[in-house]
């Protein structure tokens, strides 16, 4: 593969804007420290947690006392590190969102610099990130260096679990589409293409199926209703609706028959992770999703990274807003 530094930002006709320079933004690779359990204010902090699906119990792996929020948690394919985005305490502007990586116990916690929505490449040596300041989907190495602009007008890149392909949302002649970028071939293709789709908006944070033959996504229809659906990569007319509810867009695939999504749990008054069965029949609606036991029910649960053996869920836990 040719040097990523030498590749110009090759875009589809509708992605014609030129990439900005590769100049690095501020606060690159700043090492920070997670809090210890002895911290008195730990209950007010952001936690990174592990939920064991066999014992229905959660463990707080580490806390992030310097952050006011965190999200987009993802686990590297080699199962050794997390990547996530977050805002430092006192920051509210989305363009100040930073990319962080750490070991699973919170050690070697590094701030790689500005960016959002990280996704690990198959070799666990590269991240896809979205950039508020420069715009678009970029590749970033683990030193915090942006090496390649994938799409100036794209957003929310997700690496395929089986190939060097990157999925993201971007503009199209029909308004918006999912676009797949092949790293080795330096080529792009649209998922819905010229035939379009029935949605007013496709939400980023989509997810591939295990064989990368379907894409799971949240979308809003033209009448304003929200849903989580999937589409066949090969046959874009094959759209299946799985969940009819206004949930958060962080979709985690537990298996090709079941996914996880966070939404408000009335019984607890907090946002919690729920399991949704993919039956192929009528979509699940209202509160029909199954609450996943073992979460900290007095706190909000966001994000969802699933271990390779499907026995553990890693998630972000944040205090309930008064």
User: Which residue in the block uniquely carries the two structure tokens 């046959």?
Assistant: 235
C-alpha–C-alpha distance, residues 22 and 149, integer Å: 9
pLDDT for position 170: 95
Answer with the residue of higher pLDDT: 248 or 77: 77
Residues 6+ apart with CB under 8 A from 12: 170, 179, 188, 190
Band the pLDDT of 230: cuts 50, 70, 90: very high
| Max CA pair span of the chain | 57
- pLDDT tens-digit series, residues 161-208: 998 999 999 998 878 999 999 999 999 999 999 888 999 999 988 999
CA dihedral 168, 169, 170, 173 (to 10 degrees): 120
Closest to 239 in 3D by CA, of 275, 287, 191: 191
CB-based burial, 108-132: b 16+ in 10 Å, e otherwise = ebbbbbbbbbbbbbbebebbbbbbb
Mean pLDDT (the chain) is 87
- pLDDT tens-digit series, residues 255-281: 888 999 999 998 999 999 999 888 665
The token pair at 155 is: 């957003």
Query: What strand order describes the sheet that includes 46-52?
Result: 57-64, 46-52, 312-319, 299-306
Answer with the residue of higher pLDDT: 50 or 134: 50
Closest to 289 in 3D by CA, of 301, 280, 304, 278: 278
pLDDT higher than threshold 80 for residue 40: no
Which domains can be identified in the chain, with CATH numbers? 43-317 (2.120.10.30)
Alpha helices in the chain (DSSP H): none
- pLDDT tens-digit series, residues 61-112: 999 999 999 999 999 999 999 999 999 999 999 999 999 999 999 999 999 9
Q: Which helix (H) or strand (E) holds 75?
A: strand 67-75
pLDDT for position 303: 87
Answer with the residue of higher pLDDT: 14 or 205: 205
C-alpha–C-alpha distance, residues 166 and 158, integer Å: 5
Band the pLDDT of 24: cuts 50, 70, 90: very low
- pLDDT tens-digit series, residues 122-172: 999 999 999 998 899 999 999 999 999 999 999 999 999 998 999 999 998
Give, as one character, the DSSP assignment of residue 162: S
**Beta-ladder partners of 314:** 50, 305
**Beta-ladder partners of 67:** 88
Check if the beta carbon of residue 196 is closer than 8 Å to that of residue 242: no
pLDDT higher than threshold 70 for residue 32: no
Residues 6+ apart with CB under 8 A from 191: 177, 178, 179, 180, 215, 231, 233, 236
C-alpha–C-alpha distance, residues 49 and 47, integer Å: 6
C-alpha–C-alpha distance, residues 214 and 219, integer Å: 15
C-alpha–C-alpha distance, residues 242 and 292, integer Å: 18
Q: Give the β-pairing of 116-120 and 110-114.
A: unpaired
């Amino acid at each position: 593969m040719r040097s990523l530094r030498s590749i110009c930002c090759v875009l589809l006709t509708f992605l014609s804007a030129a990439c900005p320079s590769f100049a690095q933004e501020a606060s690159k690779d700043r090492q920070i420290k997670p809090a210890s359990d002895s911290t008195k204010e730990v209950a007010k902090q952001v936690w990174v947690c592990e939920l064991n699906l066999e014992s229905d119990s959660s463990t707080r792996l580490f806390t992030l006392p310097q952050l006011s929020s965190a999200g987009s948690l993802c686990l590297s394919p080699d199962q050794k590190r997390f990547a996530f985005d977050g805002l430092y305490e006192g920051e509210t502007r989305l363009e100040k969102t930073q990319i962080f990586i750490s070991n699973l116990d919170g050690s070697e916690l590094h701030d790689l610099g500005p960016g959002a929505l990280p996704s690990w490449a198959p070799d666990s040596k590269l991240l896809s990130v979205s950039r508020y300041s420069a715009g678009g989907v970029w590749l970033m190495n683990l030193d915090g260096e942006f090496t390649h602009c994938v799409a100036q007008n794209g957003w929310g890149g997700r690496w395929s679990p089986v190939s060097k392909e990157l999925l993201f949302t971007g503009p199209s002649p029909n308004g918006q589409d999912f676009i797949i970028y092949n790293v080795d071939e330096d080529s792009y293709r649209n998922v819905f293409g010229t035939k379009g789709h029935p949605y007013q908006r496709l939400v980023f944070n989509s997810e591939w199926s295990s064989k990368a033959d379907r894409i799971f996504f949240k979308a809003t229809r033209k009448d304003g209703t929200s849903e989580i659906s999937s589409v066949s990569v090969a046959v874009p007319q094959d759209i299946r609706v799985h969940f009819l509810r206004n949930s958060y867009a962080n979709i985690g695939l537990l298996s090709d028959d079941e996914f996880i999504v966070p939404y408000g749990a009335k019984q607890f008054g907090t946002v919690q992770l729920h399991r949704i069965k993919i039956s192929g029949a009528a979509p699940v609606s209202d509160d029909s999703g199954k609450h996943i036991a073992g979460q900290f029910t007095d706190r909000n649960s966001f994000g969802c990274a699933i271990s390779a053996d499907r026995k553990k869920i890693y998630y972000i836990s944040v205090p309930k807003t008064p």
